[in-house]
Chains A and B, each alone.
Chain A
Amino acid sequence: MSSPVVSLNPWTDLSTMWSYPYLRNALIAGSIVAIIAASVGWMMVQRRQSFLGHTLAVVSFPGASLALLFALPASVGYYGATVIAALIARQSSDAQTADDRQSNATIGTVQAVALATGLLVISRSSSFLTSTTSLLFGSFLGITSNEVLLIAVVGVVTGVVFIAIARPLLLATFDATEATAMGIPVAALNVVFAVLLACVVAATSQITGALLVFALLVMPGATAQILTPKVWKGCAISVGLGLGILWLGIGLSFYLPRLPLGFCVTSVGFFAYLVSHVLVALRSRPHLQGNVA
């Protein structure tokens, strides 16, 4: 591609990006992924299930490479591996609570086996060497229109399920006993959320690669929680941040082609996280002085 030049007019820059079909695919698929990853990821952070999320992301790598080895679409491997791993992890946890700490050893074991399997698969075939980097660290050049369609379908289904279960799930997160007493099917919701998380991780892996899923899954939610203790406002802020991180990240990587997409998206997310810490620190200082005075 001819090296694009930044005009510093956001509208012109966006139109330039939009005129490349492959980039249009990346922006559409990426936006859908950013929205579901930021909202489901926000819930994951509230539920202290980041370790599970990380494992699902790692598992997507051998899943996708195995699928490629057997000449299947990579997405079969992504979704198959994460959903199976989520169900195994849920199976070894306490059915009533979100707490996966008891099953951390199991999850860690699954994670190690998954990475080793991925290594075995790529070592069997030299033709994978180019795709290994994109499986692990993402690439926005390879998203086909069919993949965009799949991500859109997954986005709609996971989005609808998330909106439907978010409120009782949040109550079950903070108080499983109370939720059970109020008639919420806590054990079933825990399974549904694990599968939901698996689908979102698989979709996100296709954009960011297996290892940088957290840029879109954890960073927006973690940042939103620093900014506000109001839950639904926090979820909305998380989605806004997710979209912002994705678009700025793709823009940076487009206009500075030496910087890979995964690095750009993750750096923007990390910057937002740092800035929110500084903002909160600044906001609380005059408050403290006011109390003393």
Chain B
Amino acid sequence: MTPDHPALHWSDASVTLGQRTLFRHVNLTIPTGSFVAILGPNGVGKSTLMKTILGLQHLSEGSVSVFGGSPEEARPLIGYLPQRHHFESSVSISGRDLVRLGLDGDRWGMPLPFANKFSASARAKSAQVAEVLEQVGATSYADRSVGACSGGEQQRLLIAQALVRRPQLLVLDEPLDSLDLPNQVAVAELIATISNVHGVTVLLVAHDVNPILSHLDQVVYLAHGGVLTGSPKEVITSENLSALYDTPVDVLTTSTGRLVVVGQPDAHGGHHPHLGHGNHHGHAG
């Protein structure tokens, strides 16, 4: 786990689930400190690729290293935000308590009452939670019930939960999903700040690339069982995307030099038989 090691390195990695090969012979390196998005149609194994980092999905071939070690060894260095839809309004837990569970929720036993009054380590943990809430701008609603918070507020709280152990790698599964446009932009900026200012390596999975495109150092396109990677300008071209999605996709450059992807079939990859969606049809991809 020295600085010489890249944050992530997949070597000849393949994952087969039953009859279905999600991806095979993937070679991919993510440098430390970069902000990277894994993109691609639904069902190609974006989340699965991410789970191999967390030790939640084993490779059928090849290897993956995280800061030079195994996923299990690197686990304390990783903050993870799973894909989710939002909390129902009846959920009764404060944002502060939710973030605190991300810090010490794996400890057995109930926390002692009034621990902050007599325990310095309890006070330190409370301070750590307060600091991360401030960092994501959630302090003003942290003591409200999560169910009463908006989608954008809930997502900030969940990012705070993933950040609370001060990870070196932040892994986010569809963090912009189910947010409205202003919140997508705001949360994307927050994640970019975490990467740029705090030096955290960020890996996120997305199916809509536009809100994050201007912040990314590297994109990884996953489709047809293989990967295409590089800087956004290299990878995100009409030719590449049209081939990957098997449907015409345009990439435009705005007057301010931003890339915009148009015509991306974002949630409907299943309509394209060539992409081999074994989850619907049961054949190999």
Question: What residues of chain A have their CB less than 8 Å away from a CB belonging to chain B?
Answer: 46, 163-168, 170-171, 174-175, 177-184, 225-226, 229-232, 234-236
A178 touches which of B80, B92, B94, B146 (Cβ 8 Å)? B80
Give the contacts of B44-99 with A (CB-CB under 8 A). 54-56, 75, 78, 80-82, 84, 91-94, 96-98
A230 touches B94 (CB 8 A): yes
Among B81, B105, B113, contact of A167 (Cβ-Cβ < 8 Å): B105
B145 at the interface (CB under 8 A from A): yes
**A174-B109 contact, Cβ under 8 Å, with A167-B101, A181-B80, A229-B144:** no
Q: 26 interchain pairs (CB within 8 A)?
A: A163-B109, A165-B108, A166-B109, A167-B111, A168-B108, A171-B105, A175-B101, A178-B80, A178-B81, A178-B102, A178-B161, A181-B75, A182-B105, A183-B106, A184-B106, A225-B92, A226-B92, A229-B93, A229-B143, A229-B144, A229-B145, A229-B146, A229-B148, A230-B94, A230-B96, A231-B97
Please count how many residues in chain B sit with their CB below 8 Å of the partner chain's CB atoms. Answer: 33
Cα A239 to Cα B143 with chains together (Å): 22
Q: How far is the CB of B165 from chain A (nearest CB, A)?
A: 9
Contacting pair A167 B108 (CB below 8 A): yes
Shortest distance from the beta carbon of B278 to any chain A beta carbon, whole Å: 22
Contact yes or no, B106 A168, CB < 8 A:
yes
A192 to B239, CA, bound (A): 54
- Return B162 CB to nearest CB of chain A, in Å: 8
Given A175-B82, A231-B97, A232-B111, A46–B92 Cβ distance below 8 Å? yes
Least Cβ–Cβ distance between A238 and chain B, in angstroms: 11
**Shortest 7 CB-CB distances between A and B: which pairs?**
A171-B105, A229-B145, A225-B92, A177-B82, A229-B94, A182-B106, A171-B101
Shortest CB–CB separation between residue A15 and chain B, in angstroms? 31
Report A-chain residues with C-beta under 8 Å of the C-beta of B131.
Answer: none
Known: A178-B102, A181-B80, A225-B92. Contact between A232 and B113, CB under 8 A?
yes
Taking CB atoms, residues of chain A closer than 8 Å to B144 are: 229
Residues of A within 8 A of B117 (CB): none
Q: How far is the CA of A274 from the CA of B18 in the complex (A)?
A: 53
Using CB atoms and an 8 Å cutoff, list the residues of chain B in contact with chain A: 54-56, 75, 78, 80-82, 84, 91-94, 96-98, 101-102, 104-111, 113, 143-146, 148, 161
Chain B CB count within 10 A is highest, among A166, A167, A234, A235, for: A167
* Chain A residues positioned under 8 Å from B94 (CB to CB): 229-231
Q: Which residue of A lies closest to B146 (CB)?
A: A229
* Least Cβ–Cβ distance between B46 and chain A, in angstroms: 15
Which residues of chain A are near B110, meaning CB under 8 Å?
163, 166-167, 232, 235
B-side contacts of A46, CB under 8 Å: 92-93
Q: Which residues of B contact A164 (CB under 8 A)?
A: 108-109
CB nearest neighbor in B for A235: B110
Q: Provide the residues of chain B in CB contact with A180, threshold 8 Å.
A: 56
* A174 & B108 in contact (Cβ 8 Å cutoff): no
Selected contact of B105 from candidates A168, A232, A234, CB within 8 Å = A168
Assembly CA distance A183 to B73 (angstroms):
12
Q: For residue A181, which residues in chain B have a CB less than 8 angstroms away from its CB?
A: 54-56, 75, 78, 80, 82
Q: Is the CB of B92 within 8 A of A174?
A: no
20 extra A-B contacts, CB within 8 A, seeds A178-B82, A230-B96, A231-B93:
A163-B110, A164-B108, A166-B110, A167-B110, A168-B105, A168-B107, A168-B108, A171-B106, A174-B101, A175-B101, A179-B106, A181-B56, A181-B75, A181-B80, A182-B106, A184-B106, A225-B92, A229-B94, A230-B97, A234-B92
Residues of B within 8 A of A183 (CB): 75, 106
Cβ of A167 and Cβ of B93 under 8 Å apart?
no
Q: Closest approach, in angstroms, between the C-beta of A128 and any C-beta of chain B?
A: 40
Our pick among B54, B91, B113 for the contact of A236 (Cβ within 8 Å) is B113
A176 to chain B, nearest CB (A): 9
Considering residues A180, A182, A184, A230, which has the most beta carbons from chain B within 10 angstroms of its beta carbon? A182
Chain B residues with CB under 8 A of A226: 92
B111 touching A174, Cβ below 8 Å: no
**B75 CB contacts on chain A under 8 angstroms:** 181, 183
Complexed CA–CA distance, A239 and B202 (Å): 43
Residues in A whose Cβ lies below 8 Å from that of B56: 177, 180-181
User: Shortest CB–CB separation between residue B180 and chain A, in angstroms?
Assistant: 22
Instruction: Name which residue of chain A comes closest to B81, CB basis.
Output: A178
B106 touches A229 (CB 8 A): no
